[in-house]
Structures are given as structure tokens and as C-alpha cells.
Copies of this chain bind each other. A is one copy, B any other.
Amino acid sequence: MPSPLTYKDSGVSIAANTRWVDAIRACMTATYDPRVMNRHNAFAGLYRLDYDEQLFRRNYKKPVLVACADGVGTKVLLALKLGRLSTIGIDLVAMNVNDLITCGAEPLFFLDYLGVSELAPPRLLEVIEGIAAGCREAGCALLGGETAEMPDVYRNGDIDLAGFSVGVVEFDRVIDGRGIRRGDVLIGLPSSGIHSNGYTLVRKLIERGRCDLDAPFEGGPQSLGEVLLAPTRIYVKAAAAVLEAYARRRVVTAMAHITGGGLRENIARLLPKGVNAVIRRRAWKPHPVFDFLRKLGVTRGEMFKVFNMGIGFVFVVRPRFAAGVTRVLREAGEDPIRLGEINSGSGRVVLEA
């Protein structure tokens, strides 16, 4: 009989995992509202869809559940390299809820998956704290999650994280771009920078250019590393403000979250046949990080294919409400930009100089 091997000997400690689960519970409960029915130690998270009490009163007539899954790509490797894990969780929530709200949904809850080489609580707890902060900003509950300790997949302290969010929208309020018409106006909201796409390229450029991540970025108060790690903006409040201001009219015909593929692909995917979206590049001034990356050796065309170029979220609205939507967005603290219009065409996005 060989000498006995325990699960712990093999690199996994159930006891450490139990302690970890307890540690993240405080993060989770800080995101709860009364609709959360979670019980300690349950196998799954529970969330009441309808709710009768005053403040969180909700009643859906024909609820459509909306769900998406996303990760943060290799932005996490940059965060690990810089030892700054506090905002990568915000990125994770943002990547999911910004997708979710494009159809008019209100986010309800979020779950995370963390793959790690080892349970290193202080560092990893920062990740969960960031996720919880993102959830609070998005108005959704961190309902559950899973942390998988897999030393043979994730090495040298590497981690990966994936997120999953669920929201709800009334059946007759679903927004999907089918209502886009010629003359509709495109209104963009600024991104905070690169957000969470294209980091495999960003990291290659930084490495090839031997850039100092700790040096001040263009003489400003932030280091290059901080600029590159700026958390993805969460557009939930902005979208909710617009939808609430026009609760009875069909004013917003589409919304787009600008991720990998840039403005072109992420708007084109919504366009009905027979129209183009015309965007004037001079309508806004991209965040300086994009010019910095371009100078490290990327063509302007490639930049627009990979990055958001300063616009993180786009509304397509009926022309007679464009000024009103802009005002609502300003009142919500945003800095909306009129990017262009919908014209006759063939389902393409045209970027004008």
C-alpha cells in the first residue's frame, strides 16, 4: 500500500476554501437588497423577481430575462504585473452589465468565476471587493460565484476571471435595433480609456516599446500603468436615466456597448438592412492613451478595429428626442457626444474623417 496522499497534499485545501468562502460573504452581502433570499451554505443563490414592499417594489407583467457572460481578457495579466487588483473586478462587472443593458434590461444580479493557482486571500479578496463595488454601482446583487484552485492550469499566481449577469426587461420594452430608422441620431458616452479589450495587443506594444509602467503618463498625475488599468465605465445609471425619462415612448431604438471590434463592429451588429450609421470622427477627442498606443506602432485603421477609441457606449435615438436624451444624460452626470446619424445604406458603419 503506497503512503496515504490527502487532497491537501495534492495542492487543494477544502478547509482553506471554506475560509475563503466565509471571507467573501461580507463582500456579497454588501450588495444585497431585500429581493435576495440567499441562505448561508445553500447550493445556489435565490432572488425574488417580483417584490411587493415599498422601496424595492417591482412587478413584471411579461418578464424577459436577459443574461450574458464575459471576462476581462488579459487586462488581468497587466493588473497582476502591477500588483493592482482592486479595480479588475469593476472591469468584470462592467463588461457584463454594459452588454446586458443594451436591450433595455435592468441588471438584477451577478455571479463570478475565479480560476486561481492558489487561494492567496488578501490579493484575491481585492478582486472580489472590486466585483462587489462594481455590483453596487450597477445596482445588482453579487448573488454567488465559484473560486477554483487549479495549480496545474494557472501558474505563477496567474488568475482568470469570468462573470455572468442576469437582468430583466418587460417584453414590450425590449430594445434590439429593429426599430432603427433613417434620421436616428447616434449619441456616444465617453469611455475611461481602453476599458477591457485589446490588452494582448496593448501588452505587446508596451513590451516592445520598453515602456515604463511607473512613469507619469504624459506628465500627468497618473502613471502609465494606472492609465492602462483605468476601470471600465459602468453605464447602467446613464441608460436607466434615459429609459426612465421616456418610459412610455419608443425613443431609444438601439444601444451598443463598444468592446472588441470597436465602434464599427459593435454598431453594425445592430443595424437593420437598408441603413448605414455615419459617425464623424471629429465629433470627439479620444482619450490620449489611444494616441500613445498608436505611436507605439498600430495603424489608425487597426486602432478603430480593436479599441473603443474613447466612446464606450452608444445610444441610437429618434431625431426629435436627441436634444432631450442629451439633456437627460447631462443631468445624470454624463458628457454625451453627438456622433452622427443613421442614413440609407447597406448595414454598414461609415467612419467619416
* Chain A residues engaging chain B, CB cutoff 8 angstroms: 1-7, 9-12, 14, 17, 37, 39, 41-50, 60, 62-71, 73-74, 76-77, 99-100, 102-103, 105, 108-109, 111-113, 115, 143-146, 148, 150-155, 158, 160, 162, 164, 166-169, 171, 174, 176, 198, 200-201, 203-205, 208-209, 256-257, 260-261, 265, 269-270, 295-299, 302, 305-306
A200 to B152, Cβ gap below 8 A?
yes
Q: In the complex where A5-B205, A50-B62, A65-B65 touch, is A43 in contact with B103 (Cβ < 8 A)? A: yes
Q: Is the CB of B48 within 8 A of A64?
A: yes
**Bound Cα distance from A171 to B17, whole angstroms:** 31
Contact A64 B46 (CB under 8 A): yes
Give the nearest-CB partner of A143 in chain B. B67
- Smallest Cβ distance from A106 to chain B, in angstroms? 12
Which residue of B has the minimal Cβ distance to A70?
B146
Residues on B with C-beta less than 8 A from A167 are: 44
Report B-chain residues with C-beta under 8 Å of the C-beta of A69: 111-113, 144-146, 164
Could you give 5 example pairs across A and B, Cβ below 8 Å? A5-B205, A14-B260, A44-B68, A65-B109, A68-B146
Q: How far is the CB of A244 from chain B (nearest CB, A)?
A: 20
Oligomer copy total: 2
B174 touches A146 (CB 8 A): no
User: Assuming the A-B contacts A44-B102, A64-B47, A256-B43, are A306 and B74 also in contact, with contact meaning beta carbons closer than 8 angstroms in the complex?
Assistant: no
In the complex, the answer to whether B111 meets A67 with C-beta atoms within 8 Å is: yes
Distance of A85 from chain B, by nearest CB (Å):
15
Pairwise interchain contact A10-B71, C-beta atoms closer than 8 A? no
Contacts of A67 in B (CB 8 A): 44-45, 47, 109, 111, 143-144, 164, 166
Cβ–Cβ contact B64 & A14, under 8 A: no
Given that A5-B208, A153-B158 are contacting pairs, would A115 and B115 also be in contact in the complex, using a CB cutoff of 8 Å? yes
Tell me the minimal C-beta distance from A274 to chain B in angstroms.
16
CA distance A183 to B60 in the complex (A): 41
